[in-house]
Amino acid sequence: MHTIIVLLSVIVFTVYAGASESKFLINTALVGMSKDYREYDKNDVILDSEKSKLNEMVGSEFRVAYLEEYEKSSAEIGMDLLIVGGKTQYVGSLLTSSLGYGSYIGTTYNFLYDLALNYRYSKSLGSGLEVHTGIGLGYRWWRRELSASQIEVYTWASLRPEIGMSYSIGSLNIGAFLEYQWGFDEKMAILANSENPQTSVNLGFANILQVNIPITLQLNDSVALFMAYTYEQQKIGDSNSVPYIIDSTNYEIYEPRSTANNSYVKLGVSIEF
C-alpha cells in the first residue's frame, strides 16, 4: 500500500512539472442507484437476491480535483465521495430454514460509501477527440441491514486502473470510460446481537468492473451541467466459516459467493476556478 502511494506521488509530480495553466474543479451530483444482487451456494444454486429501483436507493456524489493543462494534454488529481442509501427487496429464506429460495420475502436497508483518490492523464488527438488513462486507490464501505439482529458490514480497498475516450462537439462533451477495481483486504463484519459477539470473515475476493458514460454541457468558462450513466458488475468470493448461534443452536456460517449488477444515474453541476 505504501509503495503504491509513493508511485502515484512520483507520477503526479513528474507530469505536473512545467505545466502551463492550473485550476480547481468541484463537482456535485444527485445519484439514483438500481441494484440486482444475488448470492449462491457452493453448487452455484441461488440462495437469495435483492433488487431496487433507481428511486429506492438515492444519494449524492462529490468530487474535488486539481487540474494542470498543457498545449495538447492535461493531468488531474482528484478525490471522489459517493454516498447512497435506501432499500432493496429481499427474496430468499431464513437462516435456519430448509424451504429454499423464495420462501421468505422482506426488505433490506443498504448504506454505501465509496471514497477514491485518483489520477488521470488526458491526451488530445485533435478534432475534439481525447484519450484518457488513469489510476486510483479506493475504499468501499457497505452496510446491509437484513433485520434488527442480522447486520453485515462489507469493507475493502481497491486499486483502480482506468482507460477512456471523449469527444467534444462545441460545448457538448461525451465520454466513455472503463475502470477495473481490484480489491484487497476484503472483509465482512457481522455485528453483535443478543446471542453472538461481533465477528468478521475474510472474503475470497471483491472486484468490480465499471463502465461510465458522462455527458457534459459547458455553459460558460467556469460552469457546466452533466449527466452520467454508470454500470458496474461486482463479484465477491465466498469466505471462511465462523461459529454462530441461532436460537441457542450452534452453527458454522460463511459469506457465500455473490454477484451484483448495479446501475447509477447522476445529475450534477461542475464548477472550475
What pLDDT, in 10s, does the model give residues 226-241?
999 999 999 999 999 9
Cβ atoms of residues 145 and 163 within 8 Å? no
- Residue 201 resides in a domain: yes
Supply φ then ψ for residue 9, to 5 degrees: -65, -40
Judge whether residue 261 has pLDDT over 80.
yes
Q: Which parts of the chain fold into alpha helices (H)?
A: 2-16
Q: What is the mean pLDDT of residues 140-168?
A: 96
Q: What is the pLDDT of residue 18?
A: 53
* C-beta of residue 199 within 8 angstroms of C-beta of residue 190: yes
Give me the percent of the chain exceeding a pLDDT of 90: 87
pLDDT at 96: 75
- 136 falls within a domain: yes
Q: Kindly state whether residue 159 falls inside one of the protein's structural domains.
A: yes
pLDDT confidence bin for 2, thresholds 50/70/90: low
Model pLDDT, residue 149: 87
The amino acid present at 46, given as its one-letter code, is: I
Q: Is residue 2 part of a domain?
A: no
Average pLDDT for residues 166-182, to the nearest whole number?
A: 97
> What phi and psi values does residue 12 have, to the nearest 5 degrees?
-60, -45
Is residue 3 one of the residues assigned to a domain?
no
Q: Which domain holds residue 36?
A: 31-272
The domain that holds 191 is classified in CATH as 2.40.128.100
Name residues whose C-beta falls within 8 Å of residue 6's C-beta, 6 or more positions apart in sequence: none
Distances from the Cα of 96 to the Cα of 5, 40, 152, 247, 249, angstroms: 45, 16, 17, 9, 10
Q: What is the average pLDDT across 258-267?
A: 98
In the chain, the number of structural domains is: 1
The model's confidence at residue 95, banded by pLDDT at 50, 70 and 90, is confident
Cell matching residue 103: 420462501
What is the band of 94 on the pLDDT scale with cuts at 50, 70, 90?
confident
- Distance, in Å, from the CA atom of 59 to the CA atom of 82, rounded to the nearest integer, reads 8
**Closest of 180, 234, 166, 225 to residue 206, by C-alpha:** 234
Cα dihedral 193/199/205/207 (nearest 10): 50
Is the pLDDT score of 122 beyond 70?
A: yes
Q: What is the mean pLDDT of the chain?
A: 93
Q: Which of 19-33, 34-48, 85-99 has the highest mean pLDDT?
A: 34-48
Residue 86 in any domain: the answer is: yes
Residue 127 in any domain: the answer is yes
* Confidence check: pLDDT of 32 > 90: yes
For residues 3 and 11, is the Cβ–Cβ distance under 8 A?
no
Q: What CA–CA distance (Å, rounded) separates 8 from 21?
A: 21
Nearest by Cα to 75 from 140, 4, 113, 124: 124
Torsions phi, psi for 2 (to 5 deg): -60, -40
What average pLDDT does range 49-55 have in this prediction? Answer: 96
Nearest Cα residue to 191 out of 143, 141, 238, 252: 143
Residue type, 103: S
C-alpha cell at 165: 475516450
Read off the pLDDT of each residue in 26-47 and give the average, rounded to a whole number. 97
* Rounded Cα–Cα distance for residues 231 and 272 (Å): 27
Q: Which of 25, 35, 159 is nearest to 87 (CA)?
A: 35
Confidence of residue 97 (pLDDT cuts 50, 70, 90): confident
Its sign, for the CA torsion 12, 13, 18, 24, is positive
Does residue 8 have a pLDDT over 80?
A: no
* Statement: residue 99 has pLDDT above 90: no
- Is residue 203 predicted with pLDDT exceeding 80? yes
What mean pLDDT do residues 38-52 have? 96
Q: Give pLDDT, residue 100.
A: 86
pLDDT tier, 1 (very low <50, low <70, confident <90, very high otherwise):
low
> CA-CA-CA-CA torsion for 195, 198, 203, 207, nearest 10 degrees?
120
Q: What's this model's pTM, rounded to 2 decimal places? A: 0.89
Q: Give 7's strand partners.
A: none
Task: Find out whether 41 and 256 touch, Cβ atoms under 8 Å.
Answer: yes
Instruction: Examine residue 95 and state whether it is found in any structural domain, yes or no.
Output: yes
